[in-house]
Amino acid sequence: MSKFWSPLVKKLTPYVPGEQPKMANLVKLNTNENPFGPSPKVVEAITAELNDNLRLYPDPEGEALKSTIARYYNVQSEQVFLGNGSDEVLAHIFYGLFQHGQPILYPDITYSFYPVYCSLYNIEGKTLPLTESFEINPEDYRQPNGGVIFPNPNAPTGRYLALDKVEAIVAANPDRVVVVDEAYVDFGGESAIKLVGKYPNLLVSQTLSKARSLAGLRVGFAVGSAELIEALNRVKNSFNSYPLDRLALAGAIAAFEDEDWFRATCEGVIGERDWVTAKLEALGFEVLPSKANFIFARHPDHAGEVLAKGLREQGVIVRHFNKPRISEFLRITTGTADQNKRLIECLKALV
């Protein structure tokens, strides 16, 4: 604390990102990165951008990437917003599209950045408890609010809400923006992007960090009605006009163009996730049904904290949240086949 800090900064409790340890030989299953690398065509495209043009600013609007994404999802370019990772997109949404002065609704167990954005912008967040089985109940979202946001699949539970239920929440809030954070949707879910033409209050955010293996490049985007996107552009151009650099723009376009790589790696992750789930269940774990690239699991006889520590001592890092309702769970990112085998071997030694 310093006398130089603004009153707002004194009150902030910042988000704590998952650890990025520097240890050798580590099995890193703690931040939901993709275990497979990005498409070789992405690497080629980025390499081709390493030239004299780096002295020039990138396209502030990222038009080429916007039209690539628009074509991919069958929407107009004006319906696409780009940001430096979806975290930045979400920050602009909280600032520019939620009605400050009324509570923003989100689940009690969800992406822990949402309350941080609320405190950053001094807006009220209201948490709505997930059901006993950690599901979102659309009925809960019929109450006065300044906006609604939830991930689908949810994080850290991995639970997926069927599209008709997502639609019920959007339809119940015609005067408020409903944001579906689809960071993990490509691992088995169905995107709500197909509903944006029908609902001007629906905004879908996605990222290239997960299914497209580009967490290091920092590219996120949102798709919605042109009026919602215009608000985000107004915020962006009052904050940082060039959120995506030349390398990120080139790499992201190439990622969308290599559909075969995308499909194959998503299928690889899904297959490994299901393998880990079966092995954990055989060890007595309860595993929530996941449509993400991670699973959320607890053991009836072993505390989550103890298991996380035991794994760490064997060089396997998973995420444990010391929070009400979920302190017994481990969130385990799906790794490569070798990493997953090592995870299971280490857990066998612990349970």
> Which residue ranges make up the site for ligand PLP (CB under 6 A)?
32, 85-87, 111, 151, 155, 181, 183, 207, 209, 215, 220
Q: Quick one: 293 or 346, whose CB is closer to ligand PLP?
A: 293
User: Considering the complex, what minimum distance in angstroms separates the CB of residue 220 from ligand PLP?
Assistant: 4
Q: Quick one: 152 or 299, whose CB is closer to ligand PLP?
A: 152
User: Considering the complex, what minimum distance in angstroms separates the CB of residue 323 from ligand PLP?
Assistant: 15
Q: Torsions phi, psi of 151, nearest 5?
A: -85, 145
CB-side neighbour CA atoms (13 Å) of 115: 15
In a 10 Å sphere around its CB, with 0-12 CB exposed, 13-18 middle and 19+ buried, how is residue 278 labelled?
A: exposed
Q: For the residues of 203-236, what is the DSSP string, one character each?
A: EEEEESSSTTS-TTT--EEEEE-HHHHHHHHHHH
Q: Quick one: 149 or 254, whose CB is closer to ligand PLP?
A: 149
User: Considering the complex, what minimum distance in angstroms separates the CB of residue 242 from ligand PLP?
Assistant: 17
Could you tell me the strand order of the sheet in which 329-333 lies?
Answer: 286-287, 294-298, 329-333
Pairing verdict, β 202-207 and 178-181 = parallel
Q: Quick one: 32 or 334, whose CB is closer to ligand PLP?
A: 32
**Is the C-alpha dihedral spanning 71, 159, 20, 278 positive or negative?**
negative
Residue 153, Cβ neighbours under 10 Å: how many?
A: 25
Q: Quick one: 229 or 292, whose CB is closer to ligand PLP?
A: 292
Q: Torsions phi, psi of 158, nearest 5?
A: 85, -5
> Cis omega (within 30 of 0) on the bond before 243?
no
User: Considering the complex, what minimum distance in angstroms separates the CB of residue 160 from ligand PLP?
Assistant: 13
Identity at 176, one-letter amino acid code: R
Q: Quick one: 82 or 276, whose CB is closer to ligand PLP?
A: 82
User: Considering the complex, what minimum distance in angstroms separates the CB of residue 156 from ligand PLP?
Assistant: 8
User: Considering the complex, what minimum distance in angstroms separates the CB of residue 333 from ligand PLP?
Assistant: 10
User: Considering the complex, what minimum distance in angstroms separates the CB of residue 155 from ligand PLP?
Assistant: 4
Distance, in Å, from the CA atom of 337 to the CA atom of 63, rounded to the nearest integer, reads: 38
Q: Which helix (H) or strand (E) holds 330?
A: strand 329-333
Q: Quick one: 211 or 346, whose CB is closer to ligand PLP?
A: 211
Q: Torsions phi, psi of 180, nearest 5?
A: -105, 115
